[in-house]
Amino acid sequence: MRSSIKIAATQSTQGKMVPETDDCRQVLQGESEEGTDAILKHVESFPVPEDSSNGLILAHPSEAGPPLNLIHSVLPEGVRVERKNSLAVEDEESDLDEVGEDEPCECEYCIPPEEQVPTKPLLPQIKSKDSGKICVVIDLDETLVHSSFKPVNNADFIIPVEIDGTVHQVYVLKRPHVDEFLKRMGELFECVLFTASLSKYADPVSDLLDKWGAFRGRLFRESCVFHRGNYVKDLSRLGRDLHKVIIIDNSPASYVFHPDNAVPVASWFDDMSDTELLDLIPFFERLSKVDDIYDILKQQRTTS
C-alpha cells in the first residue's frame, strides 16, 4: 500500500530551505512522546536503516513512480517527515523491523564465512602510473552531485534510466567546483568512485562528470556491505594498503568500518555558493606527499 507523506520545509546543512515534497513514497510511523516522528524506510529490498538520515531513496510522485532504490541519497539534517494520513500496513511492519542495538547483525562483516576463502579484491592491481600513490575513494551523491527524479530547470545532466521497460529521467546538479576538484585529484591520487547507488544510474553520471579520467575504477552498490541497515564501503576489500587509503563521503555510515580513513564532507543539495570541494584541494595537495595517512587525518580531526 502506498503511503502519502510530505516533508516539512526546514533548513538544510547548507542554509537552504528544503521545499515541501511528496518525493518519499513510503514511510512507516514512529511514535514519540512529542508526537509522530516519522522513521524513513527503505522499503524495497532491504531492512530499515537505523539512522533515518541515511539511505533515503527519493522518487517522483507519479502513479507509475520510478524505483525507490536507484539513487542512494541522504536527507539534510533536521528534515522532518509528517504523514498526511495514518494508514498503517501491519504486514509491511512485520518485514521492516529495525535492527536493534542489542540484536546481533548477520552481515558478512560481523559473521564471516566459516571457511575463510580469500576474497577477490574489489580493485584490480594498481597501474604503474599510480604506483606509490594514495588511493582516494570518492562518493557520488550529495558529495559530488545531487540527483532527483523531479525536473529542475538548471540541471547539468539529464540521465535517462530504463527500469522494467519504462524510461525515467534523472536530473543531476553538479556541486560547485567539482570540475577543478576532480581534475586535481586525478593528478595526485589513484581515485576510485565508490557509490551505493545502482550502476545503471551512476555509471552514465560518471561518464559525463569525469572529463579527465580521474576515476581509475568505479564501484557500485553490489560492492558495498549491507550492515545494520546501511550500505557500508568496506575499504579492507579494495586490495590496497589501508595506510594509503582515504574515503571522501558525506555519510558517516558509509565508512563506519574505517572512520580513521575518512575525510567527511557536508551533504550538498543545491547551494551554488558552496566552496567545500575547492577548499579541500590544498589539504589534499599536502596529503599526497605523505606515506601514512593516519597521523595527518588525526591532526585534521583534532584541529577542525
Which active-site residues does the annotation give? 139, 141
| DSSP secondary structure code for residue 236 in this structure | G
| Amino acid at the residue 261 | N
Name residue 125's amino acid: Q
Residue 73: Cβ-neighbour burial (10 angstroms; 0-12, 13-18, 19+): buried
- Compute the distance between CA of residue 132 and CA of residue 12 in angstroms, rounded to an integer: 39
Q: Please calculate the CA angle 184-187-192 and round it to the nearest 5 degrees.
A: 90
For residues 62 and 228, give the distance between their C-alpha atoms in angstroms, rounded to a whole number: 31
Packing angle, helices 293-303 and 276-287, rounded to 10:
140
Can you name the residues that pair with 5 across neighbouring β-strands?
83
